[in-house]
A and B are shown apart, each in its own frame.
Chain A
Amino acid sequence: MITTGRIVRLAERDRADVHFLLDGERRSALAGDTVLTAMLAAGHALRSSEFGPELRAGFCLMGACQDCWVWQEEGSRLRACSTSVAEGMRLRTTPPESWP
């Protein structure tokens, strides 16, 4: 059972901090992180599957599998493996309440 971040930083640790909100909680990442890296350094999944009980955490990291689309508070989605995390991003592992 993973209780902290899924990923392990092995190199390039000397970068500026970037802050973002993950499911309403303030988290920090490093400048140059993708959204996928930032979210999985803070937690163990990106989203839940629409078609099964399991969580998803990305798969190909090269923009081909489309497993890592995540929600933002403002209602739009982004592909976490190919988007850089930015200061103040408000990310969600579940759809916003307004989503039908």
Chain B
Amino acid sequence: MSGTSSPRIVIVGAGPAGIRAAATLVAAGLHPVVIDEGHRAGGQIYRRPPDGFVRTPNQLYGSEAAKASALHALFDQLAREGRLTHCARSSVIAAHDGRLYVLGEGGVKVIGYDRLVLATGASDRVAPVPGWQSAGVYSLGAAQIALKAQGVALGRRIVLIGSGPLLTLVGAQLIKAGADVAAVLDTSSWRRQMRGFSGLAARPTVALRGLALRARLGARYHAGVALEQIEADASGVTAMRWRDAGGRQRLTPCDMVGIGWHLRAETHLADLTGCAFAYDEQWRQWLPKTDAMGRAGNGVYLAGDGARLLGADGAEIAGRLAAAACLADLGRSAPPIQADLRNLARLERFARGLARAFPWPAEMVRTLPDDAIVCRCENVAAGAVREGADFGGGEANRVKSLSRAGMGRCQGRYCQLAAVEIVAAQAGCASREVGRFRGQAPVRPAPVAAFLRED
């Protein structure tokens, strides 16, 4: 890492954070390697459809079209000019001792780094609802990806359940595209939503845009609901059973249910590279510890929703800041950061307002019936998780090995927050005391043949 040889900098993720980090490093004369799972750069929020699709950015990204197009154009130009190396359709499956193990079409290759920027984004934070293992239940993000990247609705008659900005956004987008949305069921009550108001005032335009989208849902939208059961037959979902805010039981026939409570940071690689974690009481999840710039130590920098759930605008800023931190640590001149730091603080006030307004449904998860599935990968039920806690005590990883919750193919991405909540309830302690599932390599399933081909 002396001034004579160029440092090897790797960025994982080519969403808003990864693209801004890459552009900042390129502007400083460095040549980063950008590893991303997508066919084309953009990430999930600004995901691009395959070649041959004809909808315009306006149709795809709405009010965010200009931002999406700018990021796509910037990244494509840097790649075309050879100022960065883009490893598309590649997954980092393990990290150890300054080396990344990257699964691509030709098998697993090893890429070394001196500095690593992790911009791994987030996935839907889901909570189990009885019956959610049935065919036809999808994350809210999945419903949005299907519409954006494939032009399809995942069902003929759709019910969306959960809470958070994506619930309203996906509902409005599906209706606009011509899908049949039967109901949008929010577990957060109107009163609860008002509690986030002071934070939401930090971005009045975005808050108003959210209200306008909500208005488009009309009578389909119900706040303060209780979710009881996703009914299904042999072919999949047939109805959603729920109670409205007045306690009346309702049954809404449907063949697709979209589910999600805002987002969960994707932190497996931060874990494998030795980052420290802290439990965030507002976002109700474990997040990697960094300074305000995204420095995590050990030459690792974090940016975007994989570190703090601030959304796409926050990810762009955090990407620039992480790159600036990296440049400063390399003894190179870094761009000014004061305005970015101020803006990021404002976005964080807004995001914490969202977290208060649309909370994780802790009580619903804690009181889940014993026979309800918690881990979708291996169909581990709530009762088995509770038995694990009775036998092994209130410690996340012991319950994981006893019950197998979190040991399936998704590696706990979609069950761990719920499993930890249930363990905490059973052991009579706070969620943070239960800890978190340790990340394990490979963080994506990898065929044995992918390793045999090497050397």
B151 engages A14 (CB within 8 Å)? no
Contact status of A59 and B155, CB under 8 A, knowing A10-B147, A44-B235: no
Min CB distance B156 to A, Å, is 6
Complex Cα spacing A10 to B178, Å: 7
Chain B contact residues: helix, strand, loop or mixed:
loop
Complex Cα spacing A47 to B54, Å: 31
Nearest A-chain residue to B449, judged by Cβ: A76
B235 engages A55 (CB within 8 Å)? yes
Nearest A-chain residue to B378, judged by Cβ: A51
Nearest A-chain residue to B155, judged by Cβ: A6
B142 engages A62 (CB within 8 Å)? yes
A57 engages B145 (CB within 8 Å)? no
From A1, A49, A60, contact of B142 by CB (8 A): A60
Min CB distance B446 to A, Å, is 11
From B152, B235, B377, B378, contact of A1 by CB (8 A): B235
Across-interface contacts of B232 in A (CB, < 8 A): 54
Name which of B130-138, B159-167, B192-200, B433-441 contacts chain A: B130-138
Task: Give the interface size class of chain B.
Answer: 35 or more
Across-interface contacts of B373 in A (CB, < 8 A): 52
Across-interface contacts of A82 in B (CB, < 8 A): 37, 89
Contact status of A65 and B413, CB under 8 A, knowing A1-B233, A7-B154, A32-B52: yes
Across-interface contacts of B145 in A (CB, < 8 A): 61-62
Across-interface contacts of A67 in B (CB, < 8 A): 376-377, 409-410
What does the 1/0 interface line of B149-193 toward A look like (CB < 8 Å)? 111111110000000000000000000011100000000000000
Across-interface contacts of A59 in B (CB, < 8 A): 137-139, 142, 376, 414
What does the 1/0 interface line of A31-66 toward B look like (CB < 8 Å)? 111100100110011000101101111111111111
B124 at the interface (CB under 8 A from A): yes
**A interface residues, tally (CB under 8 Å):** 43
| Residues of B22-57 whose CB lies within 8 A of A | 37, 44, 49-55
Q: Which of B124, B236, B408 has the most CB of A within 10 A?
A: B236
Complex Cα spacing A54 to B379, Å: 10
Complex Cα spacing A10 to B174, Å: 9
Across-interface contacts of A63 in B (CB, < 8 A): 37, 91, 444
B273 at the interface (CB under 8 A from A): no
Nearest B-chain residue to A3, judged by Cβ: B235
B255 engages A64 (CB within 8 Å)? no
Complex Cα spacing A73 to B409, Å: 22
Across-interface contacts of B377 in A (CB, < 8 A): 51, 65-67
Across-interface contacts of A8 in B (CB, < 8 A): 152-153, 155-156, 179
B359 at the interface (CB under 8 A from A): no
A-B contact pairs, 29 of them (CB 8 A): A1-B233, A1-B238, A2-B255, A7-B152, A8-B153, A8-B155, A8-B156, A9-B151, A10-B151, A12-B49, A34-B149, A34-B150, A45-B236, A51-B379, A54-B133, A55-B135, A57-B135, A58-B138, A59-B137, A59-B376, A64-B266, A64-B414, A65-B139, A65-B377, A65-B413, A66-B377, A66-B410, A67-B376, A67-B410
Residues of chain A touching chain B, judged by Cβ–Cβ distance below 8 Å, are 1-2, 6-15, 31-34, 37, 40-41, 44-45, 49, 51-52, 54-67, 69, 76-77, 82, 84
Which 9 A-B residue pairings sit nearest by Cβ, starting from the closest?
Answer: A12-B151, A66-B409, A11-B151, A61-B142, A57-B135, A51-B379, A32-B50, A52-B379, A55-B135
